[in-house]
Amino acid sequence: MQVRHNITIDEDVSKELESVAAELGEKKSAIIEKALETYFDLLDLKVAKKRLADLEKGRDRVHDSEDVWKKLGI
């Protein structure tokens, strides 16, 4: 399912988007979607590194799955 969004972007970014879309013969929305997916992958990595650092510094901890299941009554 597709969802429509109304966004505002910098004029230079808009011009680059127009140029790339024309060059590749792709819809601007398809390029934006691919760019966001790639950026979200980068953010996933950033979050994973932060969580690992939190574990290493003792600011977070890992729970044993059996303990979690037992507490949930599973």
Does 40 reside within a domain? yes
Q: How confident is the model at residue 3 (pLDDT cuts 50, 70, 90)?
A: very high
**What pLDDT is stored for residue 10 in this prediction?**
98
DSSP labels, 24-54:
HT--HHHHHHHHHHHHHHHHHHHHHHHHHHH
In tens, the pLDDT along 6-42 reads: 999 999 999 999 999 999 999 999 999 999 999 999 9
List pLDDT tens digits, range 34-69: 999 999 999 999 999 999 999 999 999 999 999 999
Owning domain of residue 27: 11-72
Q: Does 6 map to a domain?
A: no
Cα dihedral across residues 17, 18, 23, 24: positive or negative: positive
Q: 60 in a domain, yes or no? A: yes
- Whether residue 21 contacts residue 35, with contact meaning beta carbons closer than 8 Å, is answered with no
Distance from C-alpha of 38 to C-alpha of 1, rounded to nearest angstrom: 20
Q: Does residue 57 belong to any structural domain of this protein?
A: yes
Q: According to the model, what pLDDT value does residue 49 have?
A: 98
- Asked if residue 5 belongs to a domain, the reply is no
State the total domains in the chain. 1
